[in-house]
Amino acid sequence: MEAIILQILNGLDKGSAYALIALGLTLIFGTLGVVNFAHGALFMIGAFCAVTLSRILTLSHEVIDPTRVDFLGNPLKVDVPYLYDWFGVETGDMIIDWAVPLSILFAIPVMIGIGVIMERGLIKHFYKRPHADQILVTFGLAIVLQEIIKYFYGANPIPTPAPDAFVGSFDFGVLIGFEANQIIYPYWRLVYFAFACLVIGAVFAFLQFTTFGMVVRAGMADRETVGLLGINIDKRFTIMFGLAAAVAGLAGVMYTPINSPNYHMGMDFLVLSFVVVVVGGMGSLPGAVLAGFLLGILESFASMAQVIDLIPGINQVIIYLVAIIILLTRPRGLMGRKGVMED
C-alpha cells in the first residue's frame, strides 16, 4: 500500500509537467489547427527564464572586505549583489533565495511575448499548409531556439535550487496515517504538483467562464462558423498561442529545481508530450491533462524494482507501449473528438 502511494506521488511531478505541456499543445492544436513541434522549446525557454532571473538577481559588484584577507595577505575582494545594497543583506538574500518562484512573474510576460511573436511571425503563415509542413517548420524552429539558448547559456545543465524553505523532504505517510519513514516525499515536488493543478484550473476556468474563453471554445469546435459570425477569431487565437506558450513556460520555470535545465530538455519532453497528446486524444483538453498524469504515474510504477524484475526494460518503454496500444485500439485517444486529424 505504502509502495503504491509512493509511486503515485512519484509520478505526479513528471505527470504534471507532461500535463502542462500537453495542455498547451492541445490548446494550439485545437484552436489554430497547428501541430507545434516547437512547444518543447517553449518549456525549455521557460526554464531558462528562471536561470536568467536568478542571474539578474545576483548581479554583483566587487567590494573590498576589510575584515578578511586572501592567502597573499591582500584585502579580500568579494562580490556583493546589488540587491544587498538596495534592500539590505537579509531581504536581498531572501529575494535571491526565492528566485525560482519569482521567475513566474518574470516568465509570464516574456513567454506571452515570445508566443505572440512566434504566431504572428511564423505560424500564421502555415495555417493553410499541410500538417507535415507545420511539423517541419516548427521542428526547424525548435532546433534554432535550442541552439540560441545553447549559445548564450552553454551546453551544461545549470543547477537552479528551490527556496530553502522547500529544500528537502517530509514524511507524507504520517500525514495520512501511515507509520513514520514509509512515504518520504520532497517538498518541491508537492509544490510543483499543486502549482500545476492551479495553472490547469486557471486555464479551464478562463475557457469556461469568460466570454473570450467561450468564443475560443466555439472556435475549437467549429472555426468556420465562428468566423462567419463576424467575430475576429484570429486575434483571439494569437492570444491563445501566447497563453499556451506561457503555460509551457511556467511548467519550465517551476521544473528547474527538479531537473537542472539544459538546452535539449525541451526536445526530451516534447517527444513524450506528443505521445501524451495523442493518448489523450488530439484536440481534447481534459484528455491531455488526464493522459499526462496517467502516463507520469504509469512510468513511475513501471520503474519499481518488482515490476522491472517481472518485465525487464518495461520502465524504458512503458509510455510508448501504452501509446501504441491506445492508438491501435482507440484511434481517437482516450477522450478525442471525432474527425480530428483523421483525413
Q: Which distant-in-sequence residues (6+ apart) come within 8 Å of 1 by Cβ?
A: 178
Nearest to 115 by CA among 43, 51, 195: 43
Nearer to other proteins among residue 182 and residue 303 (C-beta): 303
Stretch that binds other proteins, among 71-79, 189-197, 205-213, 323-331 (CB under 8 A): 323-331
Nearer to other proteins among residue 162 and residue 278 (C-beta): 278
Nearer to other proteins among residue 199 and residue 282 (C-beta): 282
Nearer to other proteins among residue 251 and residue 272 (C-beta): 272
C-alpha cell at 21: 505541456
The single residue among 2, 70, 147, 164 that binds other proteins, judged by CB under 8 A, is 147
The single residue among 87, 98, 139, 204 that binds other proteins, judged by CB under 8 A, is 139
Query: What is the C-alpha separation between 251 and 42, in angstroms, rounded?
Result: 10
CB of 48 to other proteins, least distance (A): 16
C-alpha cell at 168: 528537502
| Residues across the chain | 343
Long-range contacts of residues 235-239, Cβ cutoff 8 Å, at least 24 apart: 236/212, 237/31, 237/32, 237/119, 238/116, 238/119, 238/120, 238/124, 239/116, 239/212
Window 68 to 127, contacts with other proteins (CB under 8 A): 122, 125
Q: Could you say whether residue 178 binds other proteins (CB under 8 A)? A: no
Cα separation values, 299 from 9, 15, 315, Å: 12, 9, 6
The single residue among 17, 20, 35, 102 that binds other proteins, judged by CB under 8 A, is 35
What 3-state class would DSSP assign to 63?
A: strand
Q: Could you say whether residue 156 binds other proteins (CB under 8 A)? A: no
Window 243 to 302, contacts with other proteins (CB under 8 A): 267, 271, 274-275, 278, 282
- How far is C-alpha 135 from the chain's CA centre? 20
Stretch that binds other proteins, among 75-83, 103-111, 144-152, 286-294 (CB under 8 A): 144-152
Cα separation values, 93 from 81, 161, 255, Å: 9, 14, 22
CB of 326 closer than 8 Å to CB of 284:
no
Q: Could you say whether residue 151 binds other proteins (CB under 8 A)? A: yes
Nearer to other proteins among residue 44 and residue 162 (C-beta): 44
What is the binding site for other proteins (CB under 8 A)?
Answer: 35, 122, 125, 131-133, 135-137, 139-144, 147-148, 150-151, 155, 267, 271, 274-275, 278, 282, 312-313, 316-317, 320-321, 323-324, 327-328, 331, 341-343
